[in-house]
Amino acid sequence: MLTIAFPMVISSACDTIMIFTDRLFLSRLGPHQMSAAMGGGLTCFMLSTFFLGVTGYCTALTAQCYGAGRKTDCPVVITQGLIISILAWPLILAARPLAWQLFVLTKIPPEQLGPQTVYFNILLYGVLISLFRNCLSSFFSGIGKTRTVMVSAIVSTVSNIFINYILIFGHLGFPALGIRGAAYGTILGGFLGLLVLAAVYLLSPERYEFAVARSFRYDSVLMKKLWRFGTPAGIEFFLNMLAFTLLILNFHACGLQTATAVTIVFNWDLVSFIPLVGIHVGVTSLVGRYMGGSEPDTADRATFSGLKLAWAYSFCTMLTFALLPHPLVEVFRPPQEDAVFAAARPEAVFMLRMAALYVMADATMLVFSGALRGAGDTFWAMAISVSMHWTLVIGQLFLLKIAQLSPRWTWGFLCLTLLAFSGLIYLRYRTGRWRTIQILDRIPSPPPLEVLHEIKDL
């Protein structure tokens, strides 16, 4: 678990650092710029989540093929994901007007609406890069070579921070582009990370072992498997991100003070959450591998190894949020005294302390949902996760719009709901239904490479 998950934790931490630094740079231009990047970035990500979820299932399917000894099927799975990505890009671009309407309907403050729309419009063109990175990362995660994903993430993060610093503030002869520079830097950083993955995928010695050169073809059986088990993951990802985006936009609609407080808290929440995604990927990969090899008991041990790792990390995060909220909030203080930030500070401190309640629940949900997905129990993982997120949205709308309660009450409801649903997904795992699911039963096993070479020699 450590061998596979730790590089993925570093990779996810790089994504956290990149997003965090972007918001930190933009906070120097004003709280509304920082909030605009969060709202625009989340909306762009939300539009691509269905296809990211479908192609992200390449990790579990690749791991199952690898565990069953069908190595030459692994890159063919990735090719199916790349085909889906190419077809998805124009559909995502066509959905841009829907996002504009969403900004208007949620009544984003005018000071934030303009830069948020600009950031979103630019970032949307880089979605294809994210989809390709997701597919290639799934190959290395599925076969357990997660260090390659880590190197790619480090290259992407370092280049993104450097380019953003230059373009946002205008250094080295470049004009100061502000939030537009942040969007350009994010796209360029992602492209450099994609180049690293593509180079290793196409040029490493392992390309012969997996027959990468012969994998660039459509495979109807594997494509159906990917859609069959990946669609629930894609629906879950999309509905969850739509719900999360609505949560953020509804908080932002409460005014610049609440928008600033929520943005600060969720920036730190990323620190606690995104590295756990690395453990989630590690659990999915190992459970998929052992289920492909018909070893459910070993898959169960891998799951609880991941849980121990996730809890150890989240416990440290919980203590930090509970004991050091003031210094964490002060990190986002603008250089000049700002009335909006001063008003948002106590609200952000309260929310950050409350967030300490649910970080362990986040860890529990990610580990057990990763185990269910790796085994193929994607429907129930989707049902529980989607129910949780939309319970949060409905509860938030009731508390803010109908009951007319303050954002603090809504935040408390959010924390308690996360605790409740983490218990539900554990109960689903305890039923043991995931042990009986067969993913590879209809995939014909290709002849080993040694046999192919003998046939060629004859």
pLDDT at 132 over 90: yes
* pLDDT for the residue numbered 444: 46
Nearest by Cα to 268 from 17, 14, 2: 17
φ, ψ of residue 170 in degrees (nearest 5):
80, 70
Contact 42, 245 (CB under 8 A): yes
Q: How far apart are CA 140 and CA 75, in angstroms?
A: 10
* pLDDT for the residue numbered 440: 66
* pLDDT for the residue numbered 91: 92
For residue 406, how far is the Cα from the chain centroid? Answer: 30
CA torsion sign, 169 to 172 to 175 to 179?
Answer: negative
* pLDDT for the residue numbered 441: 56
Runs of H (alpha helix) within 324-406: 325-330, 339-355, 359-375, 378-397
Between the CA of residue 392 and those of 87, 246, 263, 274, 330, what are the distances in Å?
32, 10, 17, 20, 28
Tens of pLDDT along 21-75?
777 787 788 777 877 887 788 788 888 888 988 888 888 888 888 888 888 888 9
Q: How far apart are CA 14 and CA 232, in angstroms?
A: 27
pLDDT at 189 over 50: yes
Tens of pLDDT along 283-312?
888 888 888 778 889 989 999 999 998 899
Tens of pLDDT along 401-449?
888 888 888 888 888 888 888 888 888 998 888 888 877 654 444 444 4
pLDDT at 450 over 60: no
- Give the type of residue at 381: A
Could you tell me the residue ranges of all domains in the chain? 2-436
pTM over 0.75: no
Q: How far apart are CA 74 and CA 121, in angstroms?
A: 35
322 HSE (CA, 13 A, CB side): 11
| 135-139, 189-193, 273-277, 383-387: the lowest-pLDDT one | 273-277
* pLDDT for the residue numbered 445: 45
For the chain, how many residues are written? 458
Read off the tokens for 165.
């610093």
* pLDDT for the residue numbered 457: 54
- For the chain, the 3-state helix, strand and coil shares in percent, each to the nearest 5, are 85, 0, 15
Nearest by Cα to 144 from 15, 311, 290: 290
